[in-house]
Structure 1
Amino acid sequence: MTETLPPPLRAAIVPVTPLQQNCTLLWCTRTMRGAFVDPGGDLPKLRAAMTHHGVTIEKIILTHGHIDHCGEAGTLARELGVPIEGPHEADRFWIARLDEDGRAYGIAGVVFEPDRWLIEGDQVTVGDLVLDVYHCPGHTPGHVVFHHPASKLALVGDVLFQGSIGRTDFPMGNHQHLLDAITTKLWPLGDDTAFVPGHGAMSNFGHERRHNPFVSDVAMAG
């Protein structure tokens, strides 16, 4: 009799804030220890998801410093007594203005200091899971992406979306840096790698290479 083992990683997407940002509850099925990725707000919804899935949160990890992705990360970290890892320190500029941006967007924003800034080549653990870190600037200068090779899953924040890419018209944005990050760091992870974007539906890199009007192979060859 063949025993079917559960996948090592499970994830639940919980849209938060008026901007409907995809906060991801990510956990290791063996240990049931997990992390919130980009808990921008709506903390009661996040606590309910954690309880529903029976996950013990051991850390918060962040892709970048925009208000909808990390406005209440510091508050949640204090409540749960857990560290914050990420983003890259180049996003200190954005985290330092969370209270100001919160007032502008009508979203709770609390300035915090991550326990660990991340750089290209770092790894982040969640239970027994090991996520690889890629620095993917352009949308913000300190944006990072998390990849779990065994699950063929990436959490890309606002770098890439189904059919679109991140905005680069914010302060310190850079369109060419974003295109370079997508094509040189994300595409090599494989066409069959699925990704959770910061907003909207999931997709995979192969679909975007064929159909994304901004970064498809055809668009980039033009």
Structure 2
Amino acid sequence: MRYQIIPVTSFQQNCSLLWCERSRKCAIVDPGGEIGKIIAAIESQELIPERILITHGHIDHAGGAAALAKALGVVIEGPHQEDRFWLENMPQQAEIFGFPQVETFTPERWLEQGDRVTVGDEQLEVIHTPGHTPGHLTFYHAPSKLALVGDVIFQGSIGRTDFPRSDYATLIRSIRERLWPLGDDCRFVPGHGPESTFGEERLHNPFLRD
């Protein structure tokens, strides 16, 4: 499994391309906007779009999903159905945060803890990691020891919990009970900012030090 990070929108959100090296099929994770930039990256790598994956329903992660799905002719999967209210309120989110007008959408499949999604010949495990939002998901590729964690954890920080139905204790529990078991050597791509490993964050993250 290979990947490329594509920062998009004024929020510099880390949209990610994940692809199977054998088939060249790819998934686009969290296309928050600037879909022309995302399509250019897909074409540059000569990839075959297969699906869009959404970690959670905030506009900087899902705002471009509907338009990109139409442009590429692919399905959207995720987030967990507990984030339905965020997707339904996408136009209001756009207005509040100064995004261009966006389309709301219903994913082809709501995802749950223990589900799997395919990217060509590869598989991603779906881990429900609520706290930042109630339906937040993490996508994990075990052979690569790579996790795409959305806004659960960042290098040196954690996701905000001042949104509707966010919860600090739930977020910390998600990290400790569902991400730490993946191993200290697991690399993660956060929703914003640089990559890190869970081991580094256990040692140095002021919110999470053991």
TM bin, normalised by shorter chain, reads: over 0.9
CA shift for structure 1 position 106: 1.8
Deviations for 1:153-173, whole angstroms, at most 9, x for unmatched residues? 000000000000000001110
Match in the other structure for 1:66: 58
CA shift for structure 1 position 209: 0.5
Task: Report the 3-state secondary structure (helix = DSSP H, G, I; strand = E; otherwise coil) of the residue aligned with 1:141.
Answer: coil
- Greater CA drift, 164-173 or 101-110: 101-110
Whole-Å separation in 2 of the counterparts to 1:75 and 1:172: 27
Matched, 1:164 2:187: no
Match in the other structure for 2:107: 114
**RMSD of the TM alignment (CA)?**
0.6
Whole-Å separation in 2 of the counterparts to 1:201 and 1:126: 24
Q: What does residue range 23-102 of structure 1 map to in structure 2 within 5 Å?
A: 23-102=15-94
5+ long unaligned stretches in structure 1: 1-8, 218-222
Task: Report the 3-state secondary structure (helix = DSSP H, G, I; strand = E; otherwise coil) of the residue aligned with 2:173.
Answer: helix
Q: List, as ranges, runs of 4+ consecutive aligned residues in structure 1 with deviation greater than 2 Å.
A: none
Whole-Å separation in 1 of the counterparts to 2:99 and 2:131: 24
Task: Report the 3-state secondary structure (helix = DSSP H, G, I; strand = E; otherwise coil) of the residue aligned with 1:180.
Answer: helix
Q: What does residue range 128-207 of structure 1 map to in structure 2 within 5 Å?
A: 128-207=121-200
Whole-Å separation in 1 of the counterparts to 2:74 and 2:154: 29
Whole-Å separation in 1 of the counterparts to 2:188 and 2:208: 15
Normalization by structure 1: what TM-score?
A: 0.93
Whole-Å separation in 2 of the counterparts to 1:178 and 1:101: 22
Match in the other structure for 2:11: 19
Task: Report the 3-state secondary structure (helix = DSSP H, G, I; strand = E; otherwise coil) of the residue aligned with 1:186.
Answer: helix
Larger radius of gyration: 1
CA shift for structure 1 position 216: 1.6
Deviations for 1:82-108, whole angstroms, at most 9, x for unmatched residues? 100100000001000111111121213
CA shift for structure 1 position 79: 1.2
Counterpart code for 1:174 = D
Matched pairs, number: 209
Matched, 1:10 2:2: yes
Task: Report the 3-state secondary structure (helix = DSSP H, G, I; strand = E; otherwise coil) of the residue aligned with 1:48.
Answer: helix
Identity %: 56
Whole-Å separation in 2 of the counterparts to 1:171 and 1:13: 28
Whole-Å separation in 2 of the counterparts to 1:59 and 1:122: 15
Normalization by structure 2: what TM-score?
A: 0.98
Deviations for 1:157-207, whole angstroms, at most 9, x for unmatched residues? 000000000000011100000000000000000000000000000000000
5+ long unaligned stretches in structure 2: none
Whole-Å separation in 2 of the counterparts to 1:107 and 1:25: 22
